[in-house]
Amino acid sequence: MTNTTLETSSGIPSLKIEAGDVIQPLTPTQLIWRRFRKHRMALVGAVGIIVLLVFIIVGSIVIPESAANNTDLLHRLQAPTALHIFGTDSIGRDNFNRIIYGGQISLIIGALAVLLEVTIGTVIGGVAAFIGGWVDAVLMRFTEAMLSIPSLFLLIVLSKFLGHNIPTINILGRTFSGTVGIVILVIGLTAWMYLARIVRSNMLSLRELDYISAAKSLGASKTRIFFTHLVPNTLGIIVVSATLGLANAILTEAYVSFLGLGVQPPTATWGNMMEQAQSFMSQGAWWMWVFPSLFIILVILSVNLMGDGLRDAFDPHSVRHM
Amino acid sequence: MWTYISRRLLQALVILVIITGVCFLLTHFSADPMSQYANKQGMTAADRAIIAHSLGLDQPLPVQYVKWLWLALHGNLGNSFFSRQPVLTMIAQRLPLTLELMVTAEVFIIIISLILGTVSAVKQYSAIDNIITSFSFIGYSMPIFFIAFGLMQIFAVQFKAWGLPYLPTGADIWNPKDLGALIRHMVLPVTCLVIIQVAGYSRFLRSSILEVLGLDYVRTARAKGLSERTMLFKHALRNALLPFITIIGLDIPFLLGGALVTESIFAWPGMGRLFWEYAQRGDFPVVNGVLLLTGTAVVFFTIVVDVLYTFVDPRIRLS
């Protein structure tokens, strides 16, 4: 019996092939998963995200929301103790509980904002590439115009515009300040530009490839080529951008709330905890800003690591030596 | 070449009209500058109408926009609703301070990222590369206020508590004309900006150097017996720096807008804070003035970078 070892350059582990075996080719998804698994830091990132999610979900099951918003003026600005392991804030709320509930809001905002961003970016980029001509020109000029405004300036103008009259929202029996919705809209509406450009240029370059010419010569219509070839082949790029966009959205939420434009207290987010901490900096209340910052960094680091891994996994041409 | 430039300039005008149009629309519906007169004693509806008329707020929006654009083309950005000063004067007061902060930071950013990026690419996978790469990854994931608060806690709060010479945080009043005070106040914000930006830039530079080092012409240079040093500085770096120069070129116009968060943490009276302070009050002449200025800078710098690029890299043809 002869054993042949197959080694490829794209990081696929060796396969033992025995004579007479029918070799099942790997599906693209399996190939992607294999490359992702090889990427050690990406796995670290994925584990980090899972740990954080478990922490937040279990935390919000064990600890009621009222504990996060419960004020206790007798124990305000307390350094970490056994009772309040992350200390208390300026009106005696427990920072540990607030980080759990703040994390919930921050992650929800991040996820929904990315969903909005990806939808807008993909539609605009896709439409520009599909229709072309003057529609493409108009959409791309608009995209460029939005990119020419410093992003925080655009965020501020937009959140002032949307933050006129804010209703409160009831979801799953919990009341959210309407500002949560506004922040999602603001982040989603100011972050789609890069994705739109990437989607468009990827589709345009795909269109020049031989297999598209082959499809054309077989008589495939423009619509068919778009939906069966261009869209699936752009999905990888979209997934990667969405992952990196999630890190960005969480960071942006922190900035927006830090400027006082975001979610309003008592609803906690990591960003507005930082904003409140700023006033008590000079009193040495380090625990007020250190803990929310650490969580922000942890989440963003994990998401970025995972995004990097996904980028390499989706791109079969990038041979990285780990 | 000239047809290319003129076409780009024409596109730039379209982009500027879109920028100003969108901003004009958004700012006009986001706040009512008349609200400050709403509950003033002894003020009648007729008085308010007179004020609204004198500010030009009683006209339809398209008319207001065209008027504003016409005046802007003649170098008049209007007056602030609150300070009543001309917007251009207000910008002229803030711009030098922002440039002092941002240009100083940018110089350090470029030098440090050049060193770190080159070292970690040349010594790929060594201990020093791993350290630089990990730190830049962490730095890349940090919100700037974490660095700012950390530096403030150590160098302002703790040093003061320990009786050591400490750095000012910007909460005190200082005269920007006093060079010593200016430098002392600049240390912390510049450090924050440098840490954040170096993280991204050095990562970028590392990967573009590594890409070039893998190319055939570098192998040829090595094969013909050039020393590593000559190969790196005379051959590899020249090409690897091109994308780096591009992103710096594209980032430069954004320096005009200042660093809003850093400026507001350290109470730096620059453009970012000007925008922030007046945007909160709905003072749209100021807001639109700043946006027009930064937008124009960004749009024209992009063209300049693209054109200059053909001189730096003759392989590129404009079309």
Q: Quick check: A282 contacting B, CB < 8 Å? A: yes
Q: How many interface pairs between A and B have CB atoms less than 8 angstroms apart?
A: 126
Smallest Cβ–Cβ distance between B146 and the set A163, A247, A293 belongs to A293
User: Where residue A311 falls among pLDDT bands split at 50, 70, 90?
Assistant: confident
Q: Quick check: A55 contacting B, CB < 8 Å? A: no
Task: Residue B114: name the closest of B10, B226, B27, B198 by CA.
Answer: B198
- Interface touch A284/B275, C-beta < 8 Å: no
Average pLDDT over residues B58-76: 83
Q: Quick check: B145 contacting A, CB < 8 Å? A: yes
Indicate which of A41, A143, A147, A153 best probes the interface with B, i.e. most B CBs within 10 Å of its own CB.
A153
CA distance B319 to B308: 14
Q: Is the pLDDT of residue A19 over 80?
A: no
Tell me, what's the pLDDT at A9? Answer: 47
Q: Quick check: A145 contacting B, CB < 8 Å? A: yes
Q: Quick check: A138 contacting B, CB < 8 Å? A: no
Tell me, what's the pLDDT at A49? Answer: 92
Among B151-160, B161-170, B254-263, which is the least confidently predicted range?
B161-170
Among A69-73, A185-189, A309-313, which is the least confidently predicted range?
A69-73
Residue A119: both structure tokens together: 């939808």
Q: Which residues contact B113 (CB under 8 A, 6 or more apart)?
A: B197, B198, B201, B202, B205
Among A165-179, A262-276, B14-28, B245-259, which is the least confidently predicted range?
A165-179
Most confident region among A26-30, A258-262, B286-290 by mean pLDDT: B286-290
The residue in chain B having the minimum alpha-carbon distance to the alpha carbon of residue A304 is B141
Most confident region among A114-123, A224-233, B159-168, B174-183 by mean pLDDT: A114-123
Kindly report the average pLDDT of chain B as a whole number.
Answer: 85
Chain A 226-255, CB below 8 Å of chain B: which residues?
Answer: 247, 251, 254-255
Q: What is the pLDDT of residues B307-317, one digit of tens each?
A: 888 887 777 77
- Interface touch B261/A258, C-beta < 8 Å: yes
CA distance A34 to A309: 11
Tell me, what's the pLDDT at B264? Answer: 87
- Interface touch A150/B294, C-beta < 8 Å: yes
Q: Is the pLDDT of residue B108 over 80?
A: yes
CA distance A144 to chain B (A): 7
- Interface touch B30/A157, C-beta < 8 Å: yes
CA distance A52 to B229: 46
Tell me, what's the pLDDT at A139? Answer: 94
- What backbone torsions phi and psi does residue A235 show, to the nearest 5 degrees? -55, -40
Structural element, H or E, at residue B226: none
Average pLDDT over residues A212-224: 89
- Interface touch B18/A296, C-beta < 8 Å: no
Kindly report the average pLDDT of chain A as a whole number.
Answer: 82
ipTM score of complex = 0.84
Smallest Cβ–Cβ distance between B27 and the set A157, A284, A301 belongs to A157
Tell me, what's the pLDDT at A31? Answer: 79
Tell me, what's the pLDDT at A17? Answer: 60
Instruction: Please state the three-class secondary structure of chain A as a single string.
Output: CCEEEECCCCCCCCEEEECCCCCCCCCHHHHHHHHHHHCHHHHHHHHHHHHHHHHHHHHHHHCCHHHHHCCCHHHCCCCCCCCCCCCECCCCCEHHHHHHHHHHHHHHHHHHHHHHHHHHHHHHHHHHHHHCHHHHHHHHHHHHHHHCCCHHHHHHHHHHHHCCCCCCEEECCEEECCHHHHHHHHHHHHCCHHHHHHHHHHHHHHHCCHHHHHHHHCCCCHHHHHHHHHHHHHHHHHHHHHHHHHHHHHHHHHHHHHCCCCCCCCCCCHHHHHHHHHCCCCCCCHHHHHHHHHHHHHHHHHHHHHHHHHHHHHCCCCCCCC
Tell me, what's the pLDDT at B71? Answer: 85
Q: Which residues contact A267 (CB under 8 A, 6 or more apart)?
A: A101, A105, A176, A177, A179, A180
Which residues in chain B touch residue A156, judged by CB atoms under 8 angstroms apart?
A: 260, 275-276, 279
Contact B286, B274 (CB under 8 A): yes
The residue in chain A having the minimum alpha-carbon distance to the alpha carbon of residue B271 is A153
- Interface touch A142/B18, C-beta < 8 Å: yes
Chain B 207-246, CB below 8 Å of chain A: which residues?
Answer: none
Q: Quick check: B264 contacting A, CB < 8 Å? A: yes
Give the predicted TM-score (pTM) of the model: 0.83
Smallest Cβ–Cβ distance between A251 and the set B138, B143, B295 belongs to B143
CA-angle at B85, arms to B82 and B89, nearest 5°: 135
Residue B10: both structure tokens together: 């024409």
Q: Is the pLDDT of residue A6 over 70?
A: no
Q: Is the pLDDT of residue B9 over 70?
A: yes
Average pLDDT over residues B155-160: 82
User: Where residue A2 falls among pLDDT bands split at 50, 70, 90?
Assistant: very low
Smallest Cβ–Cβ distance between A149 and the set B153, B169, B291 belongs to B291
User: Where residue A174 falls among pLDDT bands split at 50, 70, 90?
Assistant: low
- Interface touch A277/B298, C-beta < 8 Å: no
Tell me, what's the pLDDT at A167? Answer: 62
- Interface touch A259/B287, C-beta < 8 Å: no
CA distance A79 to B276: 33
Higher pLDDT, A144 or B34: A144
Average pLDDT over residues A254-263: 84
Q: Is the pLDDT of residue B115 over 50?
A: yes
CA-angle at B298, arms to A116 and A307, nearest 5°: 40
Q: Quick one: DSSP state of residue B270?
A: S
Q: What is the pLDDT of residues B168-227, one digit of tens each?
A: 776 667 777 778 888 888 899 999 999 989 998 998 999 899 989 888 999 999 899 988
Tell me, what's the pLDDT at A233? Answer: 87
Among A107-116, B27-36, B87-96, which is the least confidently predicted range?
B27-36
Q: What is the pLDDT of residues B42-52, one digit of tens each?
A: 777 777 777 77
Tell me, what's the pLDDT at B36? Answer: 65
Q: What is the pLDDT of residues A226-245, one digit of tens each?
A: 888 888 888 888 988 898 89
Task: Residue A14: name the closest of A22, A27, A3 by CA.
Answer: A3
